[in-house]
């Protein structure tokens, strides 16, 4: 069964690359370019995984993660932060907001999908192989 990944990312090139990589590994991708839309898509699509850019216009990734956590039907979806904002404490801040993991930009196409999969609960990964 294909796992559904909601990608919330405002940079078109990054979105293109992430989508290309995930689809190459048989994931289904839902694209969202901002937080308001991303939260809406999460409610509608019930993705298995959320890849969340931190630097976004208007609503940043921390605010989005915090908002997702308020919804019972969404709070158990694993959120992985993706950000180039290499400041100290950024990772901790993302985890505190609800992310289970953190991938640093620039995206490395050779390892991106395995970086993501390393954070996923084993039963979820198993489901993608069933």
Q: Candidates 48, 53, 60, 67: give the one binding Mn ion (CB under 5 A).
A: 53
Scanning 6-14, 67-75, 106-114, 116-124 for contacts with Mn ion by CB under 5 A, the matching segment is 6-14
In the shown chain, the binding pattern of residues 55 to 74 toward Mn ion, with x for contact by CB under 5 A and - for none, equals x-------------------
Number of residues assigned to the chain: 130
Phi first, then psi: what are they for 53, rounded to 5°?
A: -65, 145
Scanning 10-18, 63-71, 95-103, 108-116 for contacts with Mn ion by CB under 5 A, the matching segment is 10-18
Q: Does 31 bind Mn ion (CB under 5 A)?
A: no
Phi first, then psi: what are they for 93, rounded to 5°?
A: -65, -40
Q: Is 30 exposed, middle or buried (0-12, 13-18, 19+ CB in 10 A)?
A: middle
């Amino acid at each position: 069964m294909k796992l559904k990944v909601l990608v919330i990312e405002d940079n078109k090139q990054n979105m293109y690359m992430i989508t290309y990589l995930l689809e190459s590994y048989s994931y289904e991708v839902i694209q969202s370019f901002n937080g308001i839309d991303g939260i809406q898509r999460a409610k509608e699509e019930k993705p298995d995984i959320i890849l969340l850019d931190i630097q976004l216009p208007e609503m940043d990734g921390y605010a989005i993660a915090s908002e997702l956590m308020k919804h019972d039907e969404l709070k158990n979806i694993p959120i992985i932060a993706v950000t180039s904002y290499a400041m100290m404490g950024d990772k901790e801040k993302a985890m505190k907001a609800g992310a289970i993991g953190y991938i640093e930009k620039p995206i490395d196409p050779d390892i991106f999908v395995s970086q993501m999969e390393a954070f996923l609960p084993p039963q979820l990964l198993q489901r993608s192989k069933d």
